Structure 1
Amino acid sequence: MFEVQDKGDKKLVFVKGEVNAQTGSELKKNILDIFNSANTVVLSFKGVVYMNSSGLREIIDLLKNANKTKKTLMLCEMTPDIREMFTFTGLDKVFKIYDTQAQALG
């Protein structure tokens, strides 16, 4: 469902497949664990084929938790459909979203 790479002080997480209520909740739990050892997590959506509103809610919960604990969550490499979901809901103004990994990793 996902793969993690160390990128210096950041963790790059490649999310794969579908992000829905079940997979989103598992993803959230794992990302929260990663935040115990990293201040910044970058989620790459390149391998995501589908995400519904339940999956989106889990990503929003992750951002809330990151903000509360002074951590940074960034998103990158979204498919046009997923990017549109973030734009349509106005979440593109709330999340740090980048076109490429390189931009997100700075």
Structure 2
Amino acid sequence: MFDVQGKNGKQVVYIKGEVNAQTGGELKKKVLDMFASHNAAVLSFKGVVYMNSSGLREIIDLLKNANKMKKELGLCEMSSDIREMFAFTGLDKVFKIYETEAQALG
């Protein structure tokens, strides 16, 4: 479902497949656990083929928790469909979204 690599002081989470209620919940738990020892995470959507509203809700909940913990969360490498979902819902104004992983690691 996802791989994690440390790069430039941030944890990059490479998501694969679908993001739905179950996989989104697992992702949220994994990233929140990472925040115990890291201050920043980047979610790479490069391998995501589909995300539904339940998956989106888990990503939103993850951002809320990250903000409470004063941790940094960035998103990158979204397909045009997923990027459109964020834009349509106005979430592109709430999340830090980057075109490339390199920009997210900045």
What's the TM-score, normalizing by structure 2?
0.98
Q: Which residue of 2 aligns with 1:45?
A: 45
- Secondary structure at the counterpart of residue 70 of structure 1: coil
What amino acid maps onto 1:103 in structure 2?
Q
What amino acid maps onto 2:34 in structure 1?
I
- CA drift of 1:84 comes to 0.2
What amino acid maps onto 2:70 in structure 1?
K
| CA deviation profile, 1:72-103 (whole Å, cap 9, x unmatched) | 00000000000000000000000000000000
Q: Which residue of 2 aligns with 1:26?
A: 26
Q: Which residue of 2 aligns with 1:59?
A: 59
Tell me, in whole angstroms, the C-alpha distance in 1 between the residues paired with 2:89 and 2:57: 11
Tell me how large the CA RMSD over aligned residues is: 0.6
Q: Which residue of 2 aligns with 1:78?
A: 78
Tell me, in whole angstroms, the C-alpha distance in 1 between the residues paired with 2:46 and 2:94: 20
Tell me, in whole angstroms, the C-alpha distance in 1 between the residues paired with 2:8 and 2:45: 20
| CA deviation profile, 1:10-43 (whole Å, cap 9, x unmatched) | 1001000000011111111111111111100000
For structure 1, the residue ranges without an aligned partner over 5 or more in a row are none
Tell me, in whole angstroms, the C-alpha distance in 2 between the residues paired with 1:61 and 1:13: 17
Larger mean Cα displacement after TM superposition, 6-15 or 52-61: 6-15
Tell me, in whole angstroms, the C-alpha distance in 2 between the residues paired with 1:72 and 1:43: 11
- Secondary structure at the counterpart of residue 41 of structure 1: strand
Q: Where has structure 1 moved over 4 Å in runs of 4 or more?
A: none
Q: Which residue of 1 aligns with 2:16?
A: 16
Tell me, in whole angstroms, the C-alpha distance in 2 between the residues paired with 1:68 and 1:98: 22
Tell me, in whole angstroms, the C-alpha distance in 2 between the residues paired with 1:68 and 1:37: 15
| CA deviation profile, 1:37-69 (whole Å, cap 9, x unmatched) | 110000000000000000000000000000001
What's the TM-score, normalizing by structure 1?
0.98
